[in-house]
Amino acid sequence: MAQSRPAPDFRRRLKAANLIRQDLMRHAVGLFAISGVINVLALTGSIYMMQVYDRVLSSGSTDTLLFLSALALALYVFHGGFEAIRSQILVRFGARLDQRLSPLAQQLSIEMPRYGFSTTEAMERGRAIDTLRGFLGSSAPGALFDLPWVPLFLIFVFLLHPALGAVTLAGAVVLAALTVVAEIRSRGLTQAAQQAMVQRNTTAESNARNADALIAMGAVNRAVDRYLAQNADHLATATRAADVAATLSSISRMLRMVLQSGLLGLGAYFALRGQMSAGAIIAVSVASSRALAPIDQVIGNWRNLLGARAAYALLRDAIAAQPEPGKTVDLPLPTGSLRVEGMTVASPATGRVLLADVSFELKAGQALAVIGPSGGGKSTLMRALAGVWQPLRGAVRVDDVSLAHIPQDRMGKIIGYLPQEVNLFAGSILENINRFSEDRASRQVYVAAATAGVHTMISALPDGYDTQVGSAGTALSAGQRQRVGLARALFGDPFVVLLDEPNAALDAAGEKALNETIKIIRDRGGIVVVVAHRPNVLKAVDMVAVVQNGRLAAFGPRDEVLGNKQGTASPPADLVGDGHARAVHAAE
Ligand SMILES: Nc1ncnc2c1ncn2[C@@H]1O[C@H](COP(=O)(O)OP(=O)(O)O)[C@@H](O)[C@H]1O
Ligand SMILES: [Mg+2]
């Protein structure tokens, strides 16, 4: 998957994309000016030496020497000061860029996985910011800003002797040509190396996630081999890219040394013929080396430069791909109904339609069980109801307001969602249930835990509500995770509670508690939509929907829908899919 490809339904947002460039441009003018001052001051050495050789040595005046030395010292101090200011500006610019872009990058790494990107790919944006900031803090950008001032030194050398100026210019041209060659030869390579690395890291991440299965089924060696093969790809391209860069920088260093000595030799030749003074030879040598230094530094930093440019491009595309925040309305919290109107849902990753033309309505106090075979589209329906996937056509409305028009930070008060695969946030159980809200001592956490039937379980843990769970909730069993996830969905009494197979890892007691939970929500006037794989849950609901082959095959009062099929309260096996095949887990 190309990293810079914006996700399909993202709208371009050019204003934001220009953000970095505008900031860069504003700073560039100031940095260019400061660099001019720095470069003029850098002539100090040349002029000082010329004066010492040609004036002081011939006149023998100690006073002149002292005066010149003091003047040169002062100019050097200014030169150093301005260079320090320039690098401080660059570092602060980097820090501000980081501050401004990090939230966007973080948001993207949360949103990208649902568009089919791997976690590693999603995290690339965060690393790109580090790359850019590191680059701005290095010596490379200073060299870039010195580059436009190279002619200053060329003119200086030309004035001392046109032939020497011409040689220096030729040297600069050859070095610049080398840079162009480096650009052409390494552009593709650096990109390929970067992509190979992302792929390799994606594999490493998946291996780590599947550690248990790999070890149990003796597939560790094969997993390592797969990683090694991809790592070899990365190493091969990275080595070729490094070779190009290293070869070019050796050539350029050699050329510079030859040029330096050549200029000295030529200068001596002209001095012998009386066309130049001895001081001018030294001045030429110093000025020409200063003229070539930025070019040499740019070549030496070529790889960092390309890396920074790639990072910049990645961020620019990422910002451009941020969706425009839709028009939102601030209305009272819904209390009446959940309505789905002619909704069609496609996968954001592939664009394939997974659920077509679904319509139904639930009133406050109702509970709907969604049943149907595996892969039929139940979880897809839940994602659309939760607003995670936006419908291609149609809408989900709570009290007539489309979910698309509800501000993100308000969604949590309206919708509680327990995904099919429960992952807990890295943090305490308390933070998991209150979703990192500020209000730490909130009674709502305990209400949610009690409603979910986990308060006793949590209290029995050594650290209780402060128990830290790993990034994937590893400190808890699957059943415990699912019940904490349930409490998280119930926190704050949201109007709509969406539970995707909440009983998958529950034991009989857990299932009973779940039915109790559904009743409590209904009694307080909430709406429950629950994907049920096992028939037990059906006791607590009044409505049933059958989702099959991406369609709503049936919807209605529980006994009617189930009765139409079989005339009993227990659904036929083909409707509950592989639910019966699953062993009943002991939850804890
Ligand atoms: N993240 C996803 N991206 C693309 N397709 C998906 C994704 N999740 C599920 N699907 C596809 O959507 C279809 C329905 O899946 P899902 O809604 O998870 O079914 P169920 O929950 O009923 O088992 C399946 O064919 C599956 O391949
Ligand atoms: Mg599912």
The H-or-E segment that residue 200 falls in is helix 162-209
The closest ligand to the CA of 355 turns out to be: 1
Cα angle, residue 86 at apex, residues 84 and 88 outer, rounded to 5°: 70
In the chain, the percentage of residues whose pLDDT exceeds 90 is 40
In the prediction, which pLDDT does 441 show? 60
Distance CA 302, CA 248 (A): 10
**Residue 514 C-alpha to ligand 2 middle, in angstroms?**
18
Residue with tokens 């807990």: 424
Q: With a cut of 80, say whether residue 567 has pLDDT above it.
A: no
- pLDDT band of residue 194 (cuts 50, 70, 90) is confident
Please work out whether the CB of residue 548 comes within 6 Å of at least one atom of ligand 1. Answer: no
- pLDDT tens profile 399-452: 989 998 888 778 888 999 999 988 888 888 998 898 888 765 678 899 999 999
Q: Give the position of tokens 């990109």.
A: 191
Bridge partners, residue 367, by sequence: 528
Cβ–ligand 1 contact at 194 (below 6 Å): no
Q: Ligand 1: does its nearest atom lie under 6 Å from the Cβ of 543? A: no
Q: Give which of 234, 362, 316, 299 is closest to 3, Cα–Cα.
A: 316
Residue 573: pLDDT above 70?
no
State whether the beta carbon of 556 lies less than 6 angstroms from ligand 1.
Answer: no
Predicted pLDDT at 307? 86
**Residue 402: helix, strand or coil by DSSP?**
strand
Task: Assess whether the C-beta atom of 354 lies below 6 angstroms from ligand 1.
Answer: yes
Q: What does the alpha-carbon distance between residue 48 and residue 54 come to, in Å, rounded to a whole number?
A: 10
In the chain, CATH 1.20.1560.10 covers: 2-320
Cα–Cα nearest to 531, from 395, 376, 413: 376
Number of Cβ atoms within 10 Å of the Cβ of 169: 17
Question: What is the distance in A from the centroid of ligand 2 to the CA of 382?
Answer: 9
Q: What is the distance in A from the centroid of ligand 2 to the CA of 550?
A: 12
More confident residue, 71 or 576: 71
What is the chain's percent helix, strand, coil content, to nearest 5?
Answer: 65, 10, 25
Query: What 3-state DSSP class applies to 206?
Result: helix
How much is the average pLDDT of 447-466?
90
What is the pLDDT averaged over residues 72-82? Answer: 95
Q: Is the dihedral of CA 534, 536, 537, 542 positive or negative?
A: positive
What spacing in Å lies between the alpha carbon of 254 and ligand 2's midpoint?
Answer: 65
- Checking if the pLDDT of 588 tops 70, the result is no
Residues written for the chain:
588
Q: What average pLDDT does this structure show over 228-238?
A: 91
Instruction: Give whichever of 127-131, 190-194, 478-482, 517-521 has the largest mean pLDDT.
Output: 517-521
| Topology of the domain comprising 337-587 | Rossmann fold (3.40.50)
Which one of the ligands is nearest to 421 CA?
2
Show the tokens assigned to 339. Answer: 């309505």
Q: Which of 344, 380, 383 to mutate to test the pocket of ligand 1 (most atoms within 8 A of CB)?
A: 380
Q: Hey, which residues does 427 pair with through a beta bridge?
A: 469
Pocket residue to mutate for ligand 1, from 379, 530, 547, most atoms within 8 A of Cβ? 379
- What are the phi and psi torsion angles at 323 (to 5°)? -70, 145
Residue 332 has what DSSP assignment? P
- Name the residue at shortest CA distance from atom 25 of ligand 1: 375
CA of 420 to the centre of ligand 2 (A): 6
pLDDT value, residue 326: 57
Q: For the residues 237-263, what does the mean pLDDT come to?
A: 88
The angle that helices 302-320 and 14-41 make with each other, rounded to 10 degrees, is 150
The finding on whether 494 has its CB within 6 A of some atom of ligand 1 is: no
Compute the distance between CA of residue 33 and CA of residue 82 in angstroms, rounded to an integer.
11
**Pairing between strand 353-363 and 551-557?**
unpaired
Q: Is the CB of 549 under 6 A from ligand 1?
A: no
Q: Please, what's the largest Cα pairwise distance for the chain?
A: 120
Give, using CA atoms, the residue closest to atom 3 of ligand 1.
347
> What phi, psi does 363 have (nearest 5°)?
-100, 160
- Which residues make Cβ contacts (< 8 Å) with residue 559, sequence separation at least 6? 569
376 lines ligand 1 (CB under 6 A): yes
From ligand 2's centre to the CA of 50, what distance in Å?
A: 82
Answer yes or no: is pLDDT of 233 > 70: yes
| Spatial distance between the Cα atoms of 263 and 188, rounded to a whole number of angstroms | 37
Pocket lining: 239 vs ligand 1, CB cutoff 6 Å:
no
Residues whose beta carbons lie less than 5 angstroms from ion ligand 2: 378-379, 420
303: pLDDT strictly greater than 80: no
- Report which of 460, 492, 473 is spatially closest to residue 429, judged by C-alpha positions: 473
Would you place residue 28 in the very low, low, confident or very high pLDDT band (cuts 50, 70, 90)?
Answer: confident
Tokens of 79: 């030169």
Average pLDDT over residues 65-70: 94
Instruction: Provide the pLDDT for residue 471.
Output: 64
pLDDT of residue 585: 36
Ligand nearest to the CA of 550: 1
- CATH 3.30.160.270 given to domain 2-320: no
Residue pair 175/299 in contact by the 8 Å Cβ criterion: yes
Name the residue among 574, 541, 579 with its Cα closest to residue 560: 541
The token pair at 301 is: 């930093």
Q: Locate all alpha helices (DSSP H) within 42-61, ordered by sequence.
A: 44-51, 57-59
423 contacts 463 by C-beta, under 8 angstroms:
no
Residue 99 — left, alpha, or beta (φ > 0 → left; ψ -120 to 50 → alpha)?
A: alpha
Cβ distance 422 to 473 under 8 Å?
Answer: yes
Mean pLDDT of the chain: 84
For residues 158, 159, 164, 167, the Cα torsion angle rounded to the nearest 10 degrees is 0
Single-letter amino acid code for the residue at 156: F
Distance 374 CA to ligand 2 centre (A): 7
- Residue 497: name the closest of 564, 427, 584, 416 by CA: 416
pLDDT band, residue 20 (cuts 50/70/90): low
- Compute the distance between CA of residue 582 and CA of residue 504 in angstroms, rounded to an integer: 8
Ranking 98-102, 310-314, 471-475 by mean pLDDT, the lowest is: 471-475
Q: How far apart are CA 147 and CA 132, in angstroms?
A: 20
Q: Which of 20-34, 179-193, 394-408, 513-527 has the highest mean pLDDT?
A: 513-527
pLDDT, tens digit (0-9, with 9 covering 90-100), for 491-509: 989 999 999 999 887 778 8
- The structure tokens listed for 13 are 């947002």
C-alpha to C-alpha distance for 451 and 399, rounded to whole angstroms: 25
Domain with CATH 3.40.50.300 in the chain: 337-587
Strand partners, 527: 496
pLDDT on residue 574: 45
Q: What confidence tens digit (pLDDT) does each residue in 346-369 have?
A: 988 888 999 999 999 999 999 999
Ligand 1: which atom is nearest the Cα of residue 114?
1
Give 571 or 155, the one with higher predicted confidence: 155
SS3 454: coil
- What per-residue confidence (pLDDT) applies to 406? 86
| Tens-place pLDDT, residues 133-178 | 888 888 888 888 998 999 999 999 999 999 999 999 999 899 888 8
374 in contact with ligand 1, CB cutoff 6 A? yes
Inform me whether the pLDDT recorded for 344 exceeds 70. Answer: yes
3-state secondary structure 548-560: ECCEEEEEEEHHH
pLDDT at 354: 95
């339904």: which residue's tokens?
9
Compute the C-alpha angle 289/293/294, nearest 5°.
Answer: 145
**Confidence class of residue 181 from pLDDT cuts 50, 70 and 90?**
confident
